[in-house]
Amino acid sequence: MANKIVILGSLNLDSILQISRLPQPGETLSMTGKNSAPGGKGANQAVAAARAGGAQTAFIGRVGQDETGNFLLETLKKDHIETDHIVVDHQKDTGQAYILLQTTTGQNSILVYGGANQNLSLTDVKNAHSIIKEADFLISQFETPVEVTTAAFVYAHNVGVKTILNPAPALDQIPAQLLAATDLICPNETEAQALSNVSVTDLNSMRQAAAFFQKQGCARTIITLGARGAYIYDNQHKIDQFVDAFKVKAVDTTAAGDTFIGALGAVLKTDFSNLVAATLYANRASSLAVQKLGAQPSIPTADQVQSYFN
């Protein structure tokens, strides 16, 4: 039976600016291409959970009262994501992201205008208690106010719902109350280093970063390492290992991490007993996503992910 996933997070329209390399200060470069696609870390993860993992997915968020917001809502509905708890904000426009995509490497640099995402409120969380309570996992990131995520995670923790935190973009410090209510934290290596003050370079340093999170109340850590794969630490199940990435030619890495998180949550058991297998599945989904342009358009279906295991 498919997991029930609730995502609390951001919805953005991505403008993808294709360039050969990043410009130097004061330099003007010509773009080699330009297009747009639905995005936002929260929305990307929701689409990945629904599309790549087959999860029953609901969303808590905000869009502006504009055509962009309507477009993003309709996009989620096409993947059968419940949008009843996405509030239409009357003060701010829908979020926007500007992605500088280096066509030679597939690497990206991203500028984000939070817009309506930053107006997500404690009331929005309270109004969504009913769907959180029925979920297997609640997933969130840091493109919406951290105090709202904290309130949602504390409620989920109190009613026995498992929580997955993707601390991106990294904050200088995560509230202790939020970490204590987090069952699994999933930073990338840069975010892990920023949060733990451990230079994440090898297995030993990854263990040190995971130990830092464990002291804060997180029993499990997955550090995503891009083309190298992922490191998993789970004290309960005595897991301390790498899961290698699949070797592919990257075209656009924009949704790689979000695809990983969404796919992971969709197939993960609530007792975390299949954490290694779920990470392998998420790695495969992510490796497929980086081979196509755009965030949500690149996210594979569950059938496409499964076909690589057969």
pLDDT, residue 24, reads: 93
- What pLDDT digit, counting tens, does each position of 69-79 carry? 999 999 999 99
Residue 241 lies in a domain: yes
Residue 208 lies in a domain: yes
Q: Where is the binding site for ATP, in residues?
A: 188, 224-229, 257-258, 283
Residue 135 lies in a domain: yes
Count of CB atoms within 10 A of residue 111's CB?
A: 11
| Measured distance CA(3)–CA(127) in Å, rounded | 22
Domain limits for position 218: 4-11+40-94+118-307
Residue 27 lies in a domain: no
pLDDT, residue 37, reads: 87
Residue 114 identity: G
- What pLDDT digit, counting tens, does each position of 200-241 carry? 888 899 999 999 999 999 989 999 988 788 999 998 889 999
Helix (H, G, I), strand (E, B) or coil at 252: coil
User: Which one of 93, 244, 258, 271 is the catalytic residue?
Assistant: 258
Q: Which helix (H) or strand (E) covers residue 32, if one does? A: none
Residue 110 lies in a domain: no
- What pLDDT digit, counting tens, does each position of 152-164 carry? 999 999 999 999 9
pLDDT, residue 108, reads: 82
Q: Where is the binding site, in residues?
A: 12-14, 40-44, 143, 188, 224-229, 252, 254, 257-258, 283, 289, 292, 294, 298
Q: How many domains does the chain have?
A: 1
pLDDT, residue 310, reads: 60
234 catalytic residue (yes or no)? no
Residue 254's domain is classified under what CATH number? 3.40.1190.20
Q: Where is the binding site for substrate, in residues?
A: 12-14, 40-44, 143, 258
Residue 137 lies in a domain: yes
Helices (H), strands (E): how many in the chain? 11, 13
**Secondary structure (DSSP) of 265-304:** HHH--TT-TTHHHHHHHHHHHHHHHTTSSSSGGGPPPHHH
| pTM attached to this predicted model | 0.93
- Regions of the chain with pLDDT less than 70: 309-310
Residue 50 lies in a domain: yes
Residue 292 lies in a domain: yes
Beta-sheet strand order (sheet of 239-244): 82-89, 56-64, 4-8, 137-140, 162-165, 184-185, 220-224, 229-234, 239-244
